Amino acid sequence: MEDLTSIASRFQRDGFVLVENFLSPDELTTLQHELTRYIDQVVPHLSSRHVFYEAGDNGPIKHLTSLDLHDDFFKQMLSRPATLQVVEACLGTPAEPFASEVFYKHAHVGTETPYHQDNAYLHFDPADGVVVWIALDDVTLDNGAMHYRKGAYELGDLDHFETNLPLFSKQLSAELDPAQNPEVPALVKQGGAAIHHIQTPHRAGPNRTDHDRRAFVGNYQGSRARVDEQRKAAHDAYTARIYNEG
């Protein structure tokens, strides 16, 4: 992995940075094996708030949330010291982990993810946070690569509309100028990472290939960030309605 100064400089310029060899080969192999174990042994006992499927309540998994709450390995993975060093270099402040996730794009059935900012779900003020997206498989344009809007994190919190979907319940309303904020695909090899600011607009395409595209995600909160309780309460009430209707 390259030096922290270079990583932080690109992050602060663009609102995201791609880092090859973020995990060692041994770390990557262990993470892949532990995810398989988690799906086999832990997922069958999870509530619907912690596992989402592409359709209905079974079949291909789309998203796993809060793995660190259910499993010691993923709790340790979220607090990996080398990851925290990178996060704190990017933010320029101390930081702490607060949630882990896994995103799946299953072969042929993995659907697209709409444009959004993560702070539309986190409600931090100031928006002092970073997401570390670690590729467990090589990422291509055809298998669901994430796409970032370069520099758009400096626009602050943008308007979103409610989709009434359980997972991606908000979607960016604004149309961004491609000349000012060009779209950049996050093409990284397995073991690499795409690291983005929580105000960086991003999306992901569908998976049209014969192979799955998986990612382990860690979410990190800078020391300055505080939750806007009013925004959070409104969002919680909205998502509660979605689940009740479901």
Give the phi and the psi of residue 49 in degrees, each rounded to 5: -80, -15
Parent domain of 241: 4-245
Judged against a pLDDT cut of 50, whether residue 246 lies above it is answered with no
Query: How many beta carbons lie within 10 A of that of residue 130, not counting itself?
Result: 26
Q: Which residues contact 240 (CB under 8 A, 6 or more apart)?
A: none
CA dist., res. 225 & res. 133, Å (int):
20
Q: What's the pLDDT tens digit per position in 29-57?
A: 999 999 999 999 999 998 878 998 887 67
pLDDT of residue 166: 76
What is the count of structural domains for the chain? Answer: 1
Q: What is the CATH number of the domain that holds 233?
A: 2.60.120.620
Q: What's the pLDDT tens digit per position in 59-86?
A: 788 899 999 999 999 999 999 999 999 9
Q: What's the pLDDT tens digit per position in 185-211?
A: 999 999 999 999 999 999 999 999 999
Say what the pTM is: 0.94
Q: Which residues contact 67 (CB under 8 A, 6 or more apart)?
A: 38, 74, 78, 100, 101, 102
Between the alpha carbon of residue 82 and those of residues 67, 89, 134, 159, 197, the distances in Å are 19, 11, 13, 34, 18
216 within 8 A of 31, measured Cβ to Cβ? yes
- Between residues 127 and 2, the one the model is more confident about: 127
